[in-house]
């Protein structure tokens, strides 16, 4: 059955192409002029990876690409199928909103978006915003996060006289990795296009690692080499899109299906190498978007989404109680955003979001929670000569309803929450560009309040749920500067540098740790955390001579995240777990005559894997070096690209999370064909 589904995913675009190959593909499209509007201008610049830069990275998934952004820390449990989540500026995964083609991905059960499930095969651009996307024309949900990642998938683009595109991609690599994907795009009319993307991923997840542990007295407790077990994965993904444009507006619709079955290798503890945990996921959603300028001063946007997620978790580990549980999540999301330009340099927006979440499970004494969320945002933007301002306030109303099948003892009938969270963004242009090749210098700042609602697992899970748990509240202060110069002449064609210092406070912070089993979590409330940090990023483009282009991206992050909950505890003012003081990355690329070379390095400094900053909990720094070589050439009407990639070139042995060893030196080869 799995083979039949895979063949359907991969052959569907080919069959559609065969039906349309003989059609007339000549269309005339009117010229489109895009004018920057005040409501869509961003006060705070973003970090961005897109196009060829994104495709050259040694990245298998969205999570791997996010490692190259300043201020983000990836939590990776190892291997292709290991769970991968992202922590923003030490505030935690749940404070980061992830938006897929403009609509937020949700997981009311545990709040953890596994970014390893999203491939880069069909992604055009990834953008990171600290605070929020600083443009006021957006849904109310976009105002509610401490940071946001926007993932934009590829939109069909057709050359002169073409009505279709076909792309085939195949890769083979270490750990018996086999990844094949296909993308078909077709222009149905001058205003409507369709795309279908299918992919299959398989890997045994087996890789060699060194297991070495030293006691606090300096004696070697373990030092051996083993092979990672039970890390296999089989996954299929199918995504279909419709895109349409009309007078002063556009619309799109998306259907998404992800089906996977994987082993969870678990932690290496007490010389135990193999675990019996397995997990199967079926994630699906349908979403639609409509946006139109009703006049020169008024625009509206409507969003809708329905999502259904099913998770089957099995644990046959003989050292633990057997588990065989199923979970079903549903979500309905509706949004409207409306913006009006009151004056030439002054605009206002009003947005409303409704979200309904429901979780069912076959576990003992489950309470079957349902959550109703209403969000209303009011935002204003002012663009004066010497300053640009954007302010917003978000009102959030959350109500939980429980439907227990057994009488509750000492529990709660649900939670009701009302929160008001304001934000203010300021940009002061110190140097304005006078022409296309001149420089710009901006001073920026923002202050923002945000919070994250406890998840269903936090509140109502049978083993460890706490129905009286309070939501986390965060306050962010940011001051930064950005310098840019583009379209320069000579060797240095463009360059920019951004630096931001920030101070965050988090109250009632909740920390999630794996509870022996990776699927279940222990929730720990730290009370209060103070975070001081610095993000620096720089990029430059050089052209030594015609045909050769060089690019370089650097980023550095310093984070001091202290637990200041209780002076009586031994870990008072200690660095919170898994947050390094220093981290950074570098990406260097070169392109010449169809050849592309890419080198990337990621560094994570020393940190602690427990609350107390003692020698026993100390984790050593780690780094990886990745290289790749690509060659693009033409064969008839087809464009082909060959790829060779080596990751962790120096065979660094390291853990991102304690006792979850990462792969050593590994590689892959691949070929891509576009027609």
Q: How confident is the model at residue 670 (pLDDT cuts 50, 70, 90)?
A: very high
Averaged pLDDT score across all residues of the chain: 84
Give the Cα separation of 140 and 132 in Å (integer). Answer: 11
Name which of 514, 387, 466 is nearest 112 in CA terms.
514
User: DSSP letters of 343-369?
Assistant: ETTEEEEEEEEEEEEEEEE-STT----
pLDDT in tens, 195-245: 999 999 999 989 888 877 776 677 777 778 888 888 899 999 999 999 999
pLDDT attached to residue 419: 93
pLDDT attached to residue 433: 73
Give the Cα separation of 76 and 53 in Å (integer). Answer: 23
More confident residue, 492 or 38: 492
Burial (CB < 10 A; 0-12, 13-18, 19+), residue 3, is exposed
Q: How confident is the model at residue 193 (pLDDT cuts 50, 70, 90)?
A: very high
Q: Give the lowest-confidence range in 72-81, 279-288, 508-517, 569-578.
A: 508-517
More confident residue, 114 or 105: 105
Percent of the chain with pLDDT over 90: 46
pLDDT, average across residues 111-139? 85
B/e letters for 491-518, b = 16+ CB within 10 Å, e = fewer, are: eebbbbebbbbbebbbbbbbbbebebbb
pLDDT, average across residues 575-595? 92
Q: How confident is the model at residue 525 (pLDDT cuts 50, 70, 90)?
A: low
**Contact (Cβ atoms closer than 8 angstroms) between residue 58 and residue 177:** no
Name which of 201, 239, 236 is nearest 4 in CA terms.
236
Q: How confident is the model at residue 504 (pLDDT cuts 50, 70, 90)?
A: very high
**Contact (Cβ atoms closer than 8 angstroms) between residue 44 and residue 131:** yes
**Residue reference for tokens 């397995």:** 278
Burial (CB < 10 A; 0-12, 13-18, 19+), residue 108, is buried
Is residue 266 over pLDDT 60? Answer: yes
pLDDT, average across residues 401-416? 68
- pTM attached to this predicted model: 0.86
Can you tell me whether residue 26 is helix, strand or coil?
A: coil
pLDDT attached to residue 468: 65
Give the Cα separation of 325 and 360 in Å (integer). Answer: 11
Report residue 77: phi and psi, to 5°. Answer: -95, 15
pLDDT attached to residue 10: 42
Give the Cα separation of 85 and 286 in Å (integer). Answer: 23
- How is residue 618 written in tokens? 């100390």
**Residue reference for tokens 């936090």:** 458
pLDDT attached to residue 608: 93
Q: Give the lowest-confidence range in 28-37, 442-451, 548-557, 625-634.
A: 28-37
pLDDT in tens, 32-50: 434 456 556 677 778 888 8
Give the Cα separation of 666 and 648 in Å (integer). Answer: 7
Give the Cα separation of 572 and 575 in Å (integer). Answer: 9
| Alpha helices (runs of H) in 126-212, residue ranges in sequence order | none
Is residue 166 over pLDDT 90? Answer: yes
pLDDT attached to residue 171: 94
Side-chain half-sphere of 447: how many Cα atoms within 13 Å?
A: 0
Sequence-distant (6+) residues with CB within 8 A of 271 are: 222
User: Strand 192-203 and strand 177-189: pairing?
Assistant: antiparallel
Give the Cα separation of 662 and 671 in Å (integer). Answer: 26
Give the Cα separation of 448 and 396 in Å (integer). Answer: 15
Is residue 6 over pLDDT 70? Answer: no
pLDDT attached to residue 644: 94
């Amino acid at each position: 059955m799995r083979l039949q589904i895979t063949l359907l995913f991969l052959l569907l675009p080919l069959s559609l192409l065969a039906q349309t190959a003989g059609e007339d593909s000549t269309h005339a499209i009117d010229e489109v002029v895009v004018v920057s509007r005040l409501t869509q201008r961003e006060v705070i610049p973003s970090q961005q990876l897109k196009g060829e830069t994104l495709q050259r990275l040694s990245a298998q998934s969205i999570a791997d690409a996010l490692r190259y952004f300043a201020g983000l820390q990836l939590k990776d449990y190892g291997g292709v199928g290991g769970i991968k989540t992202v922590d923003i500026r030490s505030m935690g995964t749940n404070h980061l909103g992830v938006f897929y083609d403009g609509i937020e991905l949700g997981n009311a059960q545990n709040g953890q978006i596994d970014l390893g499930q999203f491939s880069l095969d069909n992604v055009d651009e990834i953008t990171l915003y600290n605070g929020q996307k600083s443009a006021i024309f957006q849904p109310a949900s976009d105002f509610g996060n401490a940071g946001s990642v926007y993932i934009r998938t590829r939109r069909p683009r057709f050359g002169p006289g073409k009505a279709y595109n076909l792309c085939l991609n195949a890769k083979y690599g270490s750990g018996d990795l086999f990844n094949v994907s296909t993308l078909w795009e077709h222009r149905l009319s001058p205003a409507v296009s369709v795309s279908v993307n299918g992919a299959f991923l398989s890997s045994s997840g087996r890789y060699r690692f060194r297991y070495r542990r030293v006691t606090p007295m300096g004696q070697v407790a373990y030092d051996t080499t083993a092979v990672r077990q039970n890390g296999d994965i089989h996954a299929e993904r199918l995504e279909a899109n419709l895109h349409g444009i009309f007078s002063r507006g556009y619309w799109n619709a998306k259907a998404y299906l992800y089906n996977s079955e994987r082993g969870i290798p678990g932690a290496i503890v007490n010389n135990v190498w193999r675990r019996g945990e397995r997990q199967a996921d079926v994630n699906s959603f349908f979403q639609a978007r409509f946006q139109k300028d009703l006049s020169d001063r008024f625009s509206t946007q409507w969003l809708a989404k329905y999502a259904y997620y099913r998770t089957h978790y099995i644990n046959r580990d003989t050292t633990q109680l057997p588990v065989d549980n199923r979970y079903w999540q549903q979500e309905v999301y509706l949004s409207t955003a409306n913006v009006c330009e009151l004056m030439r340099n002054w605009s206002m927006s009003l947005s409303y979001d409704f979200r309904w979440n429901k979780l069912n499970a076959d576990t003992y004494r489950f309470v079957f929670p349902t959550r109703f969320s209403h969000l209303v945002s009011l935002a204003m933007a002012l663009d004066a000569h010497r300053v640009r301002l954007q302010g917003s306030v978000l009102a959030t109303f959350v109500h939980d309803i429980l439907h227990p099948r057994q009488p509750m003892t000492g529990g709660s009938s649900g939670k009701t929450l009302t929160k008001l969270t304001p934000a203010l963004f300021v940009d002061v242009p110190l140097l304005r560009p006078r022409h296309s090749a001149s420089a710009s210098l901006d001073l920026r700042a923002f202050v923002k309040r945000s919070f994250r609602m406890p998840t269903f697992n936090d509140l109502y899970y049978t083993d460890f749920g706490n129905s009286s748990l309070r939501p986390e509240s965060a306050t962010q202060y940011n001051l930064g500067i950005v310098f840019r110069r583009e379209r320069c002449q000579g060797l240095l064609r463009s360059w920019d540098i951004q630096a931001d210092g920030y101070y965050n406070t988090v109250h009632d912070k909740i920390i999630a740790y794996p509870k022996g089993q990776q699927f279940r979590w222990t929730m720990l409330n730290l009370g209060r955390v103070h975070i001081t940090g610095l993000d620096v990023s720089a990029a430059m483009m050089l052209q030594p001579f015609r045909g050769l282009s060089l690019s370089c991206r650097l980023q550095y992050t310093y984070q001091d995240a202290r637990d200041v909950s209780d002076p009586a505890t031994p870990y008072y003012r200690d660095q919170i777990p898994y947050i390094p003081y220093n981290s950074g990355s570098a990406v260097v690329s070169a392109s010449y005559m169809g050849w592309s070379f890419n080198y990337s390095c990621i560094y994570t400094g020393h940190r602690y894997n427990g609350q107390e900053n003692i020698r026993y909990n100390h984790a050593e720094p780690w780094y990886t070096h990745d290289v790749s070589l690509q060659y693009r050439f033409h064969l008839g009407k087809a464009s082909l690209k060959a790829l060779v990639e080596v990751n962790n070139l120096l065979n660094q042995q390291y853990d991102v999370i304690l006792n979850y060893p990462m792969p050593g030196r590994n590689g892959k080869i691949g070929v891509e064909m576009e027609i």
